[in-house]
Amino acid sequence: MTEELKSKHNKNILLVENIYTYFKTESGVVKALDGVSFDIRENESVGIVGESGCGKTVTSRSILRILPKNGETVAGQIFYKGVDLLKLPEHLMRVVRGKEIALLFQDPLSALNPVLSIREQMVDVIKLHRKVNESEAAELAINMMRQVGIPEPEQRIDDYPHQYSGGMRQRILIARALALQPDLLIADEPTTALDVTIQAQVLKIIKDMREKLGLSLMLITHNLGVVSENTDRIHIFYGGRVVESGPTREIFKDPHHPYTIALLESIPAFDRKEKQLKTIPGSVPQLINPPPGCRFHPRCEFATEICKTRPTLEKFSEDRFVACFHVEEVLKSRKSKS
């Protein structure tokens, strides 16, 4: 390990270095992740943002090594607390999953077993990872359920998933994930299936629990509002790569990458008066046969010949990284417009 990496590990809980995850399909190899690098610092809330098919979910699966059978992380390193997860033997990986890194799914119904009571599902998981007996585990589960705001947890723990509403199910999953005291919580679109008022409740719980337990959070979402309000830093994904990363506030105020700019302009903002929304010409790249070089160049107004070679994610200013050859021009044109 290089000195530079070591110093990075001091403040990083997770450091993803240049990972490539490919899927073999009948029509060819899908390059779902094509050299993704990013980091999550201790006690930090980091957003992973991008449109469907950009590799957000594959990233979380690659970190936990729970890819489908046809998928494989073929290169790169994933350091969790300085340990390369890709080299870890499976029996140790099973300790990492849940106990160290917990995963929260998008669809709370399919993440729970419909034929087991909540008690069975919570107690089993807690007993597997922590040295407690049945009644202690149940007590822990009830305590956790109370903390995430489930009324009368002593009675409700014996209910089945279908007896809970969507928001309550997501609370159960949060309680189950946090009962193991993980240090990193990966939340994969945790509120996409929920209504806005329920979404607000769930996000509040995640925030409160994060403060209480000193947890790091990796929040995967396509909802720019959710990341804006709930994260410290964001990494923007496009076509299986990170195109821009930096502090949330700065990126929203002053995006550098042409894709980020286009993405932010395409959302209907509350204070925007003009009726025409900006759109991005073309469509998201096919990852079986992606465009060469910068994945965004066929849709980018700044693209030139050089964009057919691959831009690297480079430091632009303090804490801000952009993968674009034309950052200076992009910023200049933005300035002249405003």
Q: List interacting residues with other proteins (CB under 8 A).
A: 51-52, 165, 167-168, 195-201, 203-204, 222-230, 248-249, 252-253, 262-264, 266-272, 275-280, 283-284
238: nearest Cα among 199, 279, 200, 290: 290
Minimum Å distance from CB 63 to other proteins?
24
CB of 271 to other proteins, least distance (A): 5
Nearest distance from C-beta of residue 74 to other proteins, angstroms: 27
* CB of 96 vs other proteins, minimal distance in Å: 31
Q: Check if the beta carbon of residue 32 is closer than 8 Å to that of residue 71.
A: yes
Q: Which residue lies nearer to other proteins by CB, 86 or 200?
A: 200
Query: Residue 137 in contact with residue 123, Cβ under 8 Å?
Result: yes
Nearer to other proteins, 2 or 52 (CB): 52
Question: Smallest gap, in angstroms, from Cβ of residue 315 to other proteins?
Answer: 22
Nearer to other proteins, 218 or 219 (CB): 219
Q: Which residue, 12 or 147, is less far from other proteins as judged by CB?
A: 147
CB of 204 to other proteins, least distance (A): 6
Helix, strand, or coil (residue 257): coil
- Residues 203 and 230: their CA atoms lie apart, in Å, by 8
Radius of gyration, alpha carbons of the chain? 21
Minimal distance in Å, beta carbon 225 to other proteins?
3
Q: Provide CB contacts within 8 A for 287, sequence distance 6+.
A: 30, 31, 32, 34, 53, 239, 240
Q: Is the dihedral of CA 112, 118, 121, 125 positive or negative?
A: positive
Query: Residue 322, SS3?
Result: strand
Residue holding tokens 């894709």? 259
Is the Cβ of residue 106 or residue 199 nearer to other proteins in the bound state? Answer: 199
Assess contact for 65 and 93: CB atoms under 8 A.
yes
Q: Which residues contact 14 (CB under 8 A, 6 or more apart)?
A: 39, 40, 63, 78, 79, 80, 184, 216, 218
Q: Smaller CB distance to other proteins: residue 259 or 321?
A: 259
Q: Which one, 98 or 190, has the nearer CB to other proteins?
A: 190
